[in-house]
Amino acid sequence: MSSPLYVKEGKAINQAKGSLLIAKGIPGVQYGEIVDVKLTNGEIRQGQAIDVSKDAIVVQVFGGVSEVDLAGCSVRYKGETLKLPVSIDILGRIFNGMGKPIDGGPEVVAEDYLNVNGEPINPAARMPPAEFIETGISSIDGLNALVRGQKLPIFSGSGLPHNQITAQILKQAAVRGASEKFVIVFGAIGVSYNDADFFIKNLGETGAMARAVAFINTASDPVIERISTPKLALTAAEYLAWNHGMHTLVILTDMTNYCEALRELSAMRDEIPSRRGYPGYMYTDLAGIYERAGRISGREGSVTIMPILTMPDDDITHPIPDLTGYITEGQIVVSRELQRKGIYPPIDVFLSLSRMMKEGIGENKTREDHNNVFMQLYAAYAEGSYLREISTIIGAEALSDRDKIYLSAADRFESEFLLQGEDERRTVEETLDIGWKLFADLPEEDLKLIREEYIKKYLPKYKDEKKV
């Protein structure tokens, strides 16, 4: 831990350029350690040693080298990399992007100091995520189910209601059959004050703040802290999950700001850029964050991550959503088109995907027919959407009667299955039954993806027969 005995101070600074200071080498300085840069006027800026050699130390100064003079400025090396002080008392608290309390409360009395980068989970120690989380939202529970230990991002665009969807999930999410609630770890990265406030208020109103920890870096805070904020949030989540057996749900918003910060710092270091100026290691860097989700066999607790990112220009092939999609276990995509139609939540069924879904659904988990209903709904909606596209060219009149049934099924799917209120919590049974209600209109022989026994059991006409 930091102790004044180990603090070293160097005055010999040879170069200042961009955001970099090149100082004379001092023995004992660690690669990656956090340093204080003291300016002549007394101002202290933080920095990081990004290249350490016997002759020279390159320090990246957060906030730039403006006003640095080579003669009067000094660098203090504290001999530590960024660590988060943790104890169970972090629950209910709000911190900034360096882990300092900003809720007016006292500093946390630390039980331990944890390296914010964490350590990779031994793949052989992981347990595959399989416990269904009921969010109460049909388009998620029915078609893109979330499970404990998964990392499922929300891909959105500016002006879309991702915050409302997230708030609804935070409010409603529960594991079926389990009474314990999630602990919410909230990381706000470079967001506007309003957005941060929206979530904090929301947590406060629902009484969830006592079981939540928040790390807030607003747009006006230092860029470097955007890099550390998600890491602090995950370190806190891991501590609560693995040391205290809690089930944590980590919300990170907005990861696009994180990636922008990464690009900014990389450019300052004169690194060779990869696609669209983002550094070549962005995949690895993001993986270091998202891969901290999971379950460990033999341990209570879990880390589930829901990062939110806004796709620049709604482009899913942009490097940020693209690399994220390669790491996360699926994605929930918010659609501008559905939003325009007035559908809430406007979740794009075709682009959204949950890779862990099949593990979490079915008999004893949700309901036996879940997977079949999902496949059939999906196929029917895909067919209806395709016909809708064709009918814009050739006119609906040119379609056959069968096609018209599918066309109207697609409309009803949107207005009955997808559409729901911000406060409406549907159980998974309710969600699946809406599906069956839609199937009632389709030709029965078209229900190829559903097992016959389920058709006999759940299709309204047989179900009602039974009742009689």
Partner 1 sequence: MGKIWRITGPVIVAEGMRGSQVNEVVEIGSEGLVGEIISLDSDRAVIQAHEDTLGLQAGEEVRGTGSILTAELGPGIVGAIYDGLQKSLTALMANGDVFLRRGVKSFALPRDKKWQFTPTVKVGDKVSEGTIIGTVPETGLIVHKIMIPQGISGTIKKISEGQFTVVEPVALVEQDGETKEIIMMQKWPIKKPRPYKKRLPTTRLLVTGMRILDYMFPLALGGKAAIPGGFGTGKTVTQQQLVRWSQTQINIYVGCGERGNEMADVLYSFKELKDPNSGRLLAEKEVFLANTSNMPVVAREASIFVGITLAEYFRDMGYDVLLVADSTSRWAEAMREIGGRLEEMPGEEGFPAYMGSRLSSFYERAGQVECIGSPDRMGSVTIVGAVSPPGADFSEPVTQNTLRIVDALYALDTSLANKRHFPAISWLQSYSLYVDSVKEWWSKIAPDWAEIRASALRILQLEAELEEIVRLVGPEALPERDKLTLMVARMLREDFLMQSAYHPVDTYTTPQRAQLMVKTIMRFNTLAQQLIESGGTINELRQSPIVPRISRMKDIPNEDFEQRVKELTNDMETGLIPQKGGVR
Of residues 389-408, which lie at the interface with partner 1 (CB under 8 A)? 390, 393-394, 398-400, 403
Q: Which is closer to partner 1, CB of 190 or CB of 325?
A: 325
Least distance CB 291 / partner 1 (angstroms): 4
Instruction: Give 198 or 283: the residue with its C-beta nearer to partner 1.
Output: 283
Q: What's the rounded Cα separation, in Å, for the pair 45 and 38?
A: 7
267 lies in the site for partner 1, by CB under 8 A: no
Owner of token pair 């009918």: 391
Query: 334, 105 in Cβ contact below 8 A?
Result: no
Closest separation in Å from C-beta 456 to partner 1: 16
Alpha-carbon dihedral angle through residues 230, 236, 239, 241, given to the nearest 10 degrees: -80
Q: Interacting stretch for partner 1, rule CB under 8 A, among 157-165, 329-337, 431-439, 458-466?
A: 329-337
H-type helices in 336-441, by residue range?
A: 336-340, 357-360, 370-394, 401-412, 428-439
Residue 127 or 219 with smaller CB distance to partner 1? 127
Residue 264 in contact with partner 1, rule: CB under 8 A? no
Give me the 62-101 binding string for partner 1, x by CB under 8 A, dash otherwise.
-------------------x--------------------
CB atoms within 10 A of CB 126: 13
Question: Is 209 or 232 the residue whose CB approaches partner 1 more closely?
Answer: 232
Spatial separation of the C-alpha atoms in residues 438 and 417, rounded to whole Å: 9
Query: Per CB under 8 A, which region of 253-261, 351-359, 414-422, 460-468 contacts partner 1?
Result: 351-359
322 is a site residue for partner 1 (CB under 8 A): yes
Question: In the window 398-457, what residues touch partner 1 (CB under 8 A)?
Answer: 398-400, 403, 445, 448
Q: Is 247 in the site for partner 1 (CB under 8 A)?
A: no
Contact between 128 and partner 1 by CB under 8 A: the answer reads yes
Question: How many residues at the interface with partner 1, by CB under 8 A?
Answer: 78
- Whether the CB-CB separation of 215 and 97 falls below 8 Å is answered with yes
Q: What is the 3-state secondary structure (H, E, C) of 245-313?
A: CCEEEEEEECHHHHHHHHHHHHHHCCCCECHHHCECCHHHHHHHHHCCCECECCCCCEEEEEEEEECHH
Residues 420 and 426: beta-carbon distance below 8 Å: yes
> Which residues between 163 and 222 bind partner 1 (CB under 8 A)?
none
Which residues ranging from 10 to 49 are in contact with partner 1 (CB under 8 A)?
Answer: 25, 27-33
Q: Give the span between the Cα atoms of 183 and 250, in whole angstroms.
A: 8
Least Å from the CB of residue 48 to partner 1: 10
33 vs 195, beta carbon nearer partner 1: 33
Instruction: Compute the least distance from the CB of residue 259 to partner 1, in Å.
Output: 14
313: contact with partner 1 by CB under 8 A: no
Residue 146's H or E segment, with its range, is strand 146-147
* CA-CA-CA-CA torsion sign (102, 105, 110, 111): negative
**460 part of the interface to partner 1, by CB under 8 A:** no
Q: Shortest distance, CB of residue 263 to partner 1, whole angstroms? A: 14
